[in-house]
Amino acid sequence: MKTLPVGLSSTLRQLFLACALLTTCVAQAERLKDLASIQGVRQNQLIGYGLVVGLDGSGDQTTQTPFTVQSVISMLQGLGVNLPAAGSLQLKNVAAVIVTATLPAFAQPGQMLDVTVSSMGNAKSLRGGTLLMAPLKGADGQVYAMSQGNVLVGGMGAAAPGAKVQINHLSVGRISNGATVERAVVSNLGQGGVIYLELNDTDFSTASKVVEAVNKKFGAETAAAQDGRVIRVRAPLPSDERVSFLGVLESLTLTPAQSIAKVIMNARTGSVVMNQAVTLDPCAVSHGNLTIVINTDTSVSQPNALAGGATAVTQNSSVEIQKEPGAVLMLKGGTSLSEVVKALNAIGASPQDLLAILQAMKSSGALRAELEII
């Protein structure tokens, strides 16, 4: 049972408890599908432009978003309706939007996709609107899906002169099964007698373990590593046998190699996250805080009766400097994450102070980890 150092802030105590729990867990075997992906099996992003109609006066202001009026005119002309000049149109129930969706691997014509609808003008809300037919294109400019449907917005709001209440976001909505796939993406998965596994993270040790696990399951020379990320695997040619082979391949379990020691620091929020491989060499750290407090008191000087003076406002300022006593602490070397956190907590520093302390430890060579500032 691990004991917590006394005098710690609640944030540091929670961090220590979390790290202590992590160190009590042994390395778990992971499925191959969680460590790698199959080359060629990927998603594709789709994007389109459209109009949302039926808004209750919360659409784009046409004087500031002329593209909304131009889109309406173009759409109606395509439907055989002739309109006067664009300046004579005053639209309040229409909003120009960007429609986005993700085309999954092996998607076929007729399959339904979820789409996200985002306002690109100054519409106040998309609540209650209907997206008109909008083509969704891929990076190659080809249309892969058509979207249309009622927009569902998770937020709501109300406003009156001098007051406004809003819950969640009103300018982004979602349409479940709002797009129909019109074109399939050609996949080369069924071509050739070889497939390629791509590790999520480049690691030569993990790649070697994957090759060993695959050859142990399917026989020698089935898999071979091309580098620290890509692994070549021989697979059967018939499509049904290949699918069964890939199903068994993805279900293989192995224990990945330990990741490199890394400390992630967020300079904006003061968050510090470190992985299990971080270690600490013996070092001495001095930590102290310097606080400067400036107070200004405003007073009024009132002259006596018949004195002939004038009332004056004076300000009296005082400066106070408080310095906590500093101490040099000897931190013992830590061979596990919990020991490293325990040593850092002994300083009594806040998470924001740890940013500077960890950088100093890294510069001195006491911190055995890679620092990454985000």
Q: What is the pLDDT of residues 204-260, one digit of tens each?
A: 999 999 999 999 999 898 999 999 999 999 999 888 888 899 999 999 998 888 778
Q: Is 37 within the bounds of a domain?
A: no
pLDDT of residue 131: 96
Of 137, 163, 181, which closes a domain?
Answer: 181
Instruction: Give the pairing type, strands 172-181 and 283-287.
Output: unpaired
2 shares a domain with 85: no
Of 124, 150, 181, which closes a domain?
Answer: 181
- 5 confidence band (pLDDT: 50, 70, 90): very low
Q: Is 322 within the bounds of a domain?
A: no
Q: What is the pLDDT of residues 177-217, one digit of tens each?
A: 999 999 998 877 767 889 999 999 888 999 999 999 999 99
Instruction: Confirm whether pTM is higher than 0.75.
Output: no
192 shares a domain with 171: no
pLDDT at 27 over 70: no
- 289 confidence band (pLDDT: 50, 70, 90): low
Q: Is 134 within the bounds of a domain?
A: yes
Output DSSP code: residue 275: -
Of 120, 146, 181, which closes a domain?
Answer: 181
pLDDT of residue 325: 63
Q: How many domains does the chain have?
A: 3
Distance CA 323, CA 96 (A): 58
pLDDT of residue 86: 55
Phi, psi of 14 (to 5 degrees): -65, -40
- What SS3 class is residue 49? strand
- What SS3 class is residue 77? helix
289 shares a domain with 211: no
- What mean pLDDT value characterizes the chain? 81
pLDDT of residue 329: 65
pLDDT of residue 138: 95
108 shares a domain with 59: yes
Q: What is the pLDDT of residues 322-365, one digit of tens each?
A: 666 666 666 677 666 667 677 767 766 677 777 778 888 888 88
Give the range of the structural domain holding residue 123, as residue numbers without chain letter.
44-181
Give whole-number Cα distances, 188 to 40, 94, 193, 240, in Å: 7, 43, 11, 15
13 shares a domain with 125: no
170 shares a domain with 125: yes
70 shares a domain with 117: yes
65 shares a domain with 22: no
- What SS3 class is residue 277? coil
Q: Is 351 within the bounds of a domain?
A: yes
pLDDT of residue 7: 45
196 shares a domain with 177: no
Q: Is 307 within the bounds of a domain?
A: no
76 shares a domain with 121: yes
pLDDT of residue 26: 44
Q: Is 319 within the bounds of a domain?
A: no
Q: What is the pLDDT of residues 167-184, one digit of tens each?
A: 778 899 999 999 999 999
Q: Is 32 within the bounds of a domain?
A: no
- 274 confidence band (pLDDT: 50, 70, 90): confident
162 shares a domain with 123: yes
Q: Is 247 within the bounds of a domain?
A: yes
When pLDDT is averaged across residues 82-86 and rounded to a whole number, the result is 70
Distance CA 117, CA 96 (A): 10
72 shares a domain with 144: yes
